[in-house]
Each structure stands twice: as C-alpha cells, then as structure tokens.
A and B are shown apart, each in its own frame.
Chain A
Amino acid sequence: MGLVEKFTEWFGEKNQKIIDLNLKKERKLISKELTELEYERNKIRDYVNRLDALIDVEEKFISEQEKGGD
C-alpha cells in the first residue's frame, strides 16, 4: 500500500473513532485522540518545513547553474 492510501485509511479510521467516542460520550478518550492528532499535525508541519528548506536550496542551486551557463 502506498503512502497516500495509508494516510487516507489512517485518516478515515481516526475520523470514525472520534465519531464513535463522541456517541459514547468518552470525553477522556477523545481528549487523548486530540493529543495524538496534534502530535501528528506537528510532525507533518515539521516535514513541510524541511521540504521548504530543500526547495529553497534546490532552487538556489538551479538558478546559480543557469547563471553560470549564461
């Protein structure tokens, strides 16, 4: 299974779990889910920041290459 499918499945399961816990009025368990979601969100935010840094370096590299080629 690819990463996109894995995330889609994970997201769907989380969503369903939260709906079920809410129906059962499980406040503490939903709070725990919230903490886990925030942890995942922080990891993705960090990942995006690292991708941004890579893009900056690559773009700078390519533009320097192009200037050198002129």
Chain B
Amino acid sequence: MWTQLEEKLIKWESNISKKNNSLSEEEKQYIKKELPLIKAEKKQMEHRLRKLNEIIAKTKILVDDLTEDECRELSKGHSLAEVGEVLKEEFGNKLEEGQTQGRHTMINFLRSRYNIDKKNARELFNLLEDAGVVYYKVDIPKNALSEPIIYEPLEADVDIPETMYALYGDWIINS
C-alpha cells in the first residue's frame, strides 16, 4: 500500500521540480489539472489520519485497562496508583541506585510487601515500567553525546565492572 502511495507522491514531486525550468503550454495545463487531484488525495489522507487517531485512542484505553487489571492480579488487588504510592513511601521520588541494582531492590520490596513470588514480583515491576510508574532516567554527560557507546561481551563468571558503563542515572518513581 505504501509503495503505491510513495510512487504517486514522488511522481507529483518530480513534476513540481520541473517547474523551475521553462515549461511548455501543455505542461502548464497539466499542472493545473493536477492540483484538484492532489487536493482530493489530501482530503482522503486526512480522513484516514482521523480514523487512525480514533483507533489509536481506543487502543490506548484498552491497553491502560488491561495494565490496570494485570496489576490488580499480580499485586493481589492493588491498583497501579496504589502500588506506585507504596513504592514512593518506601523510596521517595527517586532511588539512587544503578539500573540493575535498583531493579532488584524494588522487585524484592514488591515481593515482600505483597507476599508474592519472585516471578510475579518481576512481572509487576515490568508492568510498572511499561505504565511509566517507574523509569530509569539516564544522566548523559554532554561530552558523551558525541562518543560511540561500545559494547564489549562479558567473560563468563566475571562481575560486571562499573567502568563498563558511561551513562549513570536514577530510578524515578512517578506515581
């Protein structure tokens, strides 16, 4: 579908680019005839855009509702807002721990707070992350923006050295 649309648009755009040169009478007439077609295409596409925005809005609501249901299931009846509040009471607005350590700290806390198994605590934490209740905010030093991030495979049975990471941050609790 997009290939055909793109071809159509490229044809129109290439016709426009010719206009800088001197045009024959025939070409001028062609351009005049072309304008209503482009306007009709725009109307059609704006209609599609509106319908897509409708389905996107509906899908967002469905995702939010399912997220809320899953949260209640995993936490034994608590809403996303309640779980977020509980995390905030425990850790404040931010948890100043590394990405991996902070995750473990909060998963362990959820596990004991709601008396759930490790798997459910991990899923609950992922859910909170998906819903934006918790997120890891990376602090990127200005001079690091232009530098490439290099990936080096880890050796087995070796602890991850902190120097491997150029970016640091905090866990934000956004309840």
Contact = CB atoms under 8 A, between A and B. Distances in A.
Contact of B42 (A14, A55, A62): A55
**Taking chain A's interface residues, is the majority helix, strand, or loop, or is none over half, making it mixed?**
helix
B51 A62 contact: no
A43 B2 contact: yes
Contact of B16 (A27, A34, A57): A57
B5 A54 contact: no
B119 to A, nearest CB: 16
Given A6-B1, A38-B56, A62-B32, A51 B16 contact: no
Interface in A9-68: 10-11, 14-15, 18, 22, 25, 27, 30-31, 33-34, 37-38, 40-41, 43-45, 47-48, 50-52, 54-55, 57-59, 61-62, 65
B45 interface: yes
Given A44-B49, A51-B9, A61-B19, A22 B42 contact: no
Interface residues of A, number: 36
A11 B1 contact: no
A7 B48 contact: yes
B34 to A, nearest CB: 7
Interface in B67-86: 67, 69-70
A51 B42 contact: yes
Given A30-B63, A48-B45, A51-B42, A37 B12 contact: no
Contacts of A54: 9, 12-13, 16, 38
Interface of B: 1-2, 4-5, 9, 12-13, 16, 19, 28, 31-32, 34-35, 38-39, 41-42, 44-46, 48-49, 51-53, 55-56, 58-60, 62-63, 66-67, 69-70, 130
